[in-house]
Structure 1
Amino acid sequence: MIRDQLLPKIDEFMRSHLCNWDNKVIDIQEKTKEMAFLSSLKQIAGIESGSITQTFMSEFFKLVLGTLSLPINLPSTNYNRGCQARKNIISMLRQLIEERRASKEIQHDMLGLLLNGDENRHKLTDEQIMDQIITILYSGYETVSTTSMMAVKYLCDHPRVLEELRNEHLAIRERKRPEDPIDWNDFKSLCFTRAVINETSRLATIVNGVLRKTTQDMELNGYVIPQGWRIYVYTREINYDPRLYPEPFSFNPWRWLDKSLETQNYNFIFGGGSRQCPGKELGVAEISTFLHYFVTRYRWEEVGGEKLMKFPRVEAPNGLHLRVSTY
Structure 2
Amino acid sequence: MEQWWWYLWFSIISLFGASLGNWIHRWRNPKCNGKLPPGSMGLPLIGETLSFFVTSNSIDIHPFVAQRMKRYGSLFKTSLAGRPVVVSLDPDFNYFVLQQEDKLVELYYMDSLAKLVHQDDMKNIGGDFHKYFRRVILSHFGHEPLKHKLLSQFEDVINHELQDWSKLPQVDLKHQTASMLFNTASKILMSCVPEENLGHDLSDILQGLMTFPVYFPGTAFYKCLKKKEKALKLTSGVLEERMNLYPTDKGDLLEKMVGDMGKEAGLTKQFVSHALFGLLIATIETIAPTITLAAKYLLDNPSALQHLTEEHERIVKKREDAKSGVSWDDYKSMTFTHYVINETLMLGNFLPGIFRRTIADIPVNGYTIPKGWVLLIIPAVLHLDPNTYEDPLAFNPWRWKNIERNTMAKKFIPFGGGNRACAGAEFSRVLVAVFLHVWFSKFRLTKIKGGDVARAPLLMFKNVFYVKVSEK
* TM class, shorter-length: 0.7 to 0.9
Q: Does structure 2 retain, via aligned residues, the 8 Å contact 1:211–1:233?
A: yes
Does 2:234 align with 1:92?
yes
Pick aligned residue for 1:210 from 344, 351, 354: 354
Aligned to 2:311: 168
Residue in structure 2 matched with residue 249 of structure 1 by the alignment: 393
Contact 2:312–2:441, Cα closer than 8 Å, also in 1: yes
- Give the Å deviation of 1:86: 2.9
Matched, 1:201 2:345: yes
Structure 1 pair 68/230, CA: closer, same or farther in 2 (3 Å)? Answer: closer
Q: Distance in 2 between matches of 1:187 and 1:41?
A: 24
Aligned partner letter, 1:145: A
What is the CA–CA distance in structure 2 between the aligned matches of 1:69 and 1:230, rounded to whole Å?
A: 18
User: Equivalent residues in 2 for 1:218-297 (5 A)?
Assistant: 218-220=363-365, 222-226=366-370, 228-258=372-402, 260-261=404-405, 263-297=408-442
Q: What TM-score comes out, normalization by structure 1 length?
A: 0.87
SS at match of 1:303: strand
User: With structure 2 as the length reference, what TM-score do the two structures score?
Assistant: 0.62
Compute the displacement of 1:199 (Å).
Answer: 0.5
Conserved 8 A contact 1:62-1:85 = no
Q: Following TM superposition, by how much is the alpha carbon of 1:176 offset from its aligned partner in structure 2, in angstroms? A: 5.7
Partner of 2:126: none
1-side partners of 2:309 and 2:409: how far apart? Answer: 28
The separation in 2 between residues aligned to 1:247 and 1:288, in whole angstroms, is 25
Counterpart mapping for 1:1-327 below 5 A = 1-22=145-166, 24-48=169-193, 52-54=195-197, 56-57=198-199, 60=202, 64=206, 66-103=208-245, 104-117=247-260, 121-122=264-265, 124-174=267-317, 175=319, 177=321, 179-214=323-358, 215=360, 217-220=362-365, 222-226=366-370, 228-258=372-402, 260-261=404-405, 263-305=408-450, 307-327=452-472
8 Å CA contact retained: 1:29, 1:316: no
Contact 1:38 1:53 in 2 (8 A): no
Change (3 A) 1:211 1:93: closer
RMSD: 2.7
Q: Equivalents in 2 of 1:246, 1:73: separation in Å?
A: 43
- Give the Å deviation of 1:156: 0.8
Where structure 1 has 5 or more consecutive residues not aligned to the other structure, the ranges are none
Task: Check whether the contact 2:354–2:416 (CA below 8 A) recurs between aligned residues.
Answer: yes
CA distance in 1, matches of 2:237, 2:433: 33
Identify if the C-alpha distance between structure 1 residues 251 and 113 changes in structure 2 by more than 3 Å, giving closer, same or farther: same
Show CA shifts across 1:281-317 (max 9, x none).
Answer: 0110111111111122222332235532234332323
The verdict on how the C-alpha distance between 1:78 and 1:227 changes in structure 2, with shifts beyond 3 A counting, is closer
Kindly provide the CA deviation profile for residues 70-113 of structure 1, in whole angstroms up to 9, marking residues without a partner as x.
Answer: 43323344433333333333332232223334444221222122
1:213 to partner: Cα distance = 4.1
State the percentage of identical aligned residues.
Answer: 26
Mapped partners of 1:28, 1:22: distance in 2: 12
Alpha-carbon distance in 2 for matches of 1:311, 1:198: 22
Alpha-carbon distance between aligned partners in 1 of 2:202 and 2:175, rounded to the nearest angstrom: 14
Once residues 281 and 458 of structure 2 are traced to their aligned partners in structure 1, the CA distance between those partners, rounded to angstroms, is: 15
- The alignment of Structure 1 onto Structure 2 pairs a total of residues equal to 323
Amino acid at match of 1:129: V
| Contact 1:9-1:43 within 8 A present in 2 as well | no
Q: Does the CA contact (< 8 Å) of 2:248 and 2:255 recur in 1?
A: no
